[in-house]
Amino acid sequence: MTYSIGDHELSAPVVLAPMAGVTNAAFRALCRRFAPGLVYVNEMVMATPVVQGNAKTHRMITFADDEHPRSQQLYGSDPQIMGDAVRQLCDDGRVDHVDINFGCPAAKVTRRGGGAAVPARPELLRAIVRSAVSAASPYDVPVTTKFRMGLFDDWLTFKRTGEVCAEEGVASIAMHARTVEQHYSGEARWDAIGELKEHMDSLGGSVPVLGNGDIWEASDAVAMIDQTACDGVVIGRGCLGRPWLFGDLVDALNGRPVPPSRQLGFVAEVMSDHARLLADLMGEDHAMRDFRKHTGWYMSGYPVGSEIRRRFSLTKTLAELDDILAHMLDKIGASATVVEGGERIKRGHTNGPIKVAIPEGWLDGQTRQGLNTDVTVPDDADVMALSGG
């Protein structure tokens, strides 16, 4: 299977979903070792602090010299600011691809009208996408969008969202097959991805549709594409503690055999490399605090016991990490493999359903089919906390 983003033809139709605090330059470098030639999207940042020159936000927009395409996700609720942010990043030559987030369900984002709240206001959605695409166009930088099915089961907006994005010139769309209310609970509803793909095809089919949700193994991606006819997949929680999943996906989607589950010795080597990449990026103290969450994901499904897991969760230095890894392999053996069903243990967020937080009056006068106009275009300055602004 082939898939292109701008001038970049990928080795498989696979995209790494941006995840806050995870998909930084260190993690993306690790993923590229296993599968070069895919799209690995940096963790999302807000448009406002990009424009304002916020130092922390700009440090987050970090790419390796050999990283192409350099993919950055932005979010915000002000069309002018979004366009200015895209234009600045493109003019500085910092990005090859921009993704716009319309799917973040975090209350601190949606209650201010950002993230997954935007598609409920179709003309606000249109204005943001139009501004971003217009700003990126002179630089030949493709813009893509990612969204959810809608706010609630009785307020589904994904077909209309796909239409608006296509009409405004995005290069592709991706959908996480859950509602905002569902959050990360239950099962992803792949049937909705199929509905979106069928709907977009009925409009001409020029915009690829990517599916996202509950791809834990390479075989899941094959099944999603077979079931929904989508054009590719977006990988989020499935790669937590499993960066080699991207290599498996390239094999599976190109009809090659997929390697068996990795042995514990292999996992230990990857953990050590990951921690060192993080230390190079952010310094050892910060890196080891950050890496603690990754240790639980790496160990998911492996019979290592609570004592070793506890030690991992408290590790403070690279030397201490090496000692724990050596002790683990000595005690359990480098050839240990995951328990039956261990690859499918959910990693990352599992909470939900949630109460959806949106601004007062956000849905007034609207229907699931949408309005032609919106009452207001909110300022996204109050949402800066997520990107540290």
Assigned superfamily of 3-260+355-387: Aldolase class I (3.20.20.70)
pLDDT beyond 80 at 228: yes
Q: Is the pLDDT of residue 360 over 70?
A: yes
Answer whether residue 380 shows pLDDT above 60: no
pLDDT at 339: 95
Is the model's pLDDT at 90 over the cut of 80? yes
Confidence class for position 206, pLDDT limits 50, 70, 90: confident
Q: Which two tokens stand for residue 62?
A: 């970090």
Give φ, ψ of 274 to 5 degrees: -60, -45
Q: Output the pLDDT for position 374.
A: 41
> When comparing pLDDT for 344 and 372, which is higher?
344
**CA 160, CA 170: separation in Å to the nearest integer?**
14
For residue 48, what are the β-bridge partners? none
Residue 179 has pLDDT above 50, yes or no: yes
Residue in the block written with tokens 């699931």: 368
Give helix then strand counts, H and E, for the chain.
14, 12
Does residue 60 contact residue 20 with C-beta atoms inside 8 Å?
no
Query: Is a pLDDT exceeding 90 seen at residue 2?
Result: no
What pLDDT does 252 receive? 97
Residue 386 banded pLDDT, cuts 50, 70, 90 = very low
Catalytic residues: 104
What's the CA gap between 107 and 387, in Å, rounded? 14
Query: Assign residue 50 a region: left if phi > 0, alpha if psi is -120 to 50, beta otherwise?
Result: alpha
pLDDT for 250-292, tens place per residue?
Answer: 999 999 999 999 999 999 999 999 999 999 999 999 999 999 9
Give me the percent of the chain exceeding a pLDDT of 90. 89
Average pLDDT, the chain: 93
Instruction: Give the pLDDT score at 116.
Output: 96
